[in-house]
Structure 1
């Protein structure tokens, strides 16, 4: 066969190479973002005179820089029994009972702003625990609107509202709530800023999301979750080179320890046509046991093999197809191997590979049969 003739391979490089898009990671669970369930219950018991008030008062504020002036309204003696009953139902995980009592209490003509906020926030947590996210959002919104709790309770509830809106795919509403939350609470906590970035990403405002994530990564270089969120935002914003810089830095520091993380890096290298770098990462991942011998790895080996073939690196292409073929779900990699071996005038090996291709199944068996007929 003339060396100037190239038999087309089965897998087209342009079709096989897709960017790896990682979904932004956002934790969205009610009540757990700013204080634990135990802390929340202790705070509420203290407010109702059932806990160690002095200890609660001595605890640092969650939002020390808040611009909101906390209201002075507290639970009135007249409704204290109702509030304590509400708290008791909550402690017993009686979520339906909590909601019924909260609605009853909030509707009382004598209920003040604090009592309404307290009742609605309890109902919101109860609805969230019942997985009724829509109802939880309604109750949290009412709790914020009543504006009766101290800053810790008020902003924790507002943050929960933003999370519930996010989980309900109400991204514009969630962003509006988060913007208010950050403006009024003046929080600079990474989890709050990262959550806003996640909302922006889901609104396809990837450049803004990436800017926030990159700033957070610069301040928290060892936080892998932030790093991968930044990579996802940059990739979605078509800023592959910037994503590769972050991943490469993390790789050199030994941070990429999972399959999806290594794939993000070496597929980023492939998209940048840095084939040798991609192969080094794959080899390293296989050697360390991070990359498993599976169909994903077979496909990625084939991409590298096809590039080697097109660059006239025939021995390397053969080596890579030999790695890919046993892992692939079908016989297409064996067929490609047979074609490259045939091109290299290694007829006996080409025929053996063609037979294996037919045994595993290929879309065009006539191509393997042509090699076998020579």
Structure 2
């Protein structure tokens, strides 16, 4: 099953720094008319400074970072205008951000703010950029503090700012607050960004609100039924809520419409059928569906003949009651496996058939290669030794099983019945 962390894909900082950063046309109205900050007077008088500034930002907006950095650094080194220097710092910060040098961007943005000569629109734009850069640098509390300052002094609310706030709060594990922030963002926008719902769903998942998680994922899927990402997200949400039949339904619908095409998709659907089979009184029909999915994927050369896939096929065959087919699948997995899981499965089958010597050989092979649950493997070995009337070997195996927390109680009880110590 996929972990909750899968819902975090796409949670990235807003690309606000990548937008056009400078416009030489005078603005008629301020973007922050209710700001509490008193705007300083500008000191940009030299035409040469204006030209360097314009060339730098033009290059920046075209993606020519090298030219932009040269023009703006020249301005920063030579100009006597505090405004020109502050705007050069701002542009250089964007260049740093675009190359993922977030710490460099943060330092330059802070210098631009400390300069003290930026007009209100530029000042608050830089302050907002700082919050974004801090989030990208994983400085979530600092980003949140900067955003709070931007909103308090600028007296402005935007959908995007609340989405950034929600991301910060999510990263700080303040899930109820994150949910509230993203809901606020969505209420302020006619076209919410898809990643906002990702933050919202991740917050619901992390706070155990599975019903809310499923609802928003299903709503998103209903709105975008052919979007692979919406399908994937809905499946992840349903798995998180342990609504496996519903997850299967979504996957089968996507499969019928030709939207289920990767190996991971096929393996996941087969796994869902297999796990459902284990939890029902009549497991055979669901196990057969798991088998059919894997075989279809293999016949289309989508599902690769790996040890892991053969083990899944073998398990499904076993649950469906087709022991020869299960054995064959596990045998195919043996030479491909890097661990002892296939050997352990074969050992269990041989043990069920009272082939104790064969089972012992296979379980020893499994133990030597390593398995996920070593205690369980030693319990199988103990049963093999019991069938071979080897009490000493049985006790030795049980003592090993007693060292595994998952099997310790059962192993110690059996050792007690044999009159042996668990140590």
Range class of TM-score, shorter chain: 0.7 to 0.9
Tell which has more relative contact order, 1 or 2 (C-alpha 8 A, sep 6+). Answer: 1
Does residue 19 of the first structure (1) align with residue 4 of the second (2)?
yes
Equivalent residue, structure 2, for 1:201 = 170
Superposed counterparts of 1:55-134, under 5 Å: 56-58=26-28, 61-71=30-40, 73-77=41-45, 79-92=46-59, 93=64, 94-105=67-78, 108=80, 111-112=81-82, 114-129=83-98, 131-134=100-103
Normalising by structure 2, we get a TM-score of 0.67
Superposition CA RMSD, Å? 3.1
Equivalent residue, structure 2, for 1:227 = 197
Superposed counterparts of 1:245-260, under 5 Å: 245-251=215-221, 253-255=222-224, 257-260=226-229
Q: 1:146 aligned to 93, 105, 115, which one?
A: 115
Distance 1:266 1:121, change over 3 A: closer
Report the CA distance between 1:218 and its aligned residue.
5.0
Distance 1:256 1:222, change over 3 A: farther
Deviations 1:216-272 (A, max 9, x none): 345558633322221112112232222112112333x33354444334323433443
Equivalent residue, structure 2, for 1:297 = 266
Distance 1:115 1:19, change over 3 A: closer
Report the CA distance between 1:369 and its aligned residue.
5.5
Unaligned runs of at least 5 residues, structure 2? 298-302, 335-341, 356-423
Contact 1:318 1:341 (8 Å CA) reproduced: yes
Distance 1:175 1:64, change over 3 A: same
4+ runs deviating over 6 angstroms: 370-374
Does residue 366 of the first structure (1) align with residue 352 of the second (2)?
no
Equivalent residue, structure 1, for 2:291 = 322
Contact 2:182 2:196 (8 Å CA) reproduced: yes
Report the CA distance between 1:20 and its aligned residue.
5.2
Does residue 282 of the first structure (1) align with residue 251 of the second (2)?
yes
Bigger CA drift: 284-293 or 186-195?
A: 284-293
Equivalent residue, structure 1, for 2:311 = 332
Report the CA distance between 1:194 and its aligned residue.
0.6
Normalising by structure 1, we get a TM-score of 0.75
Contact 1:354 1:372 (8 Å CA) reproduced: no
Distance 1:104 1:190, change over 3 A: same
Q: 2:160 aligned to 191, 194, 201, which one?
A: 191
Deviations 1:11-39 (A, max 9, x none): xxxxx46435422623444633xxx42xx
CA distance in 2, matches of 1:221, 1:83: 38
Bigger CA drift: 188-197 or 268-277?
A: 268-277
Distance 1:215 1:284, change over 3 A: farther
Contact 2:56 2:72 (8 Å CA) reproduced: no
CA distance in 1, matches of 2:184, 2:126: 26
Distance 1:313 1:263, change over 3 A: farther
Deviations 1:82-114 (A, max 9, x none): 3433433454542442353243246x4xx44x3
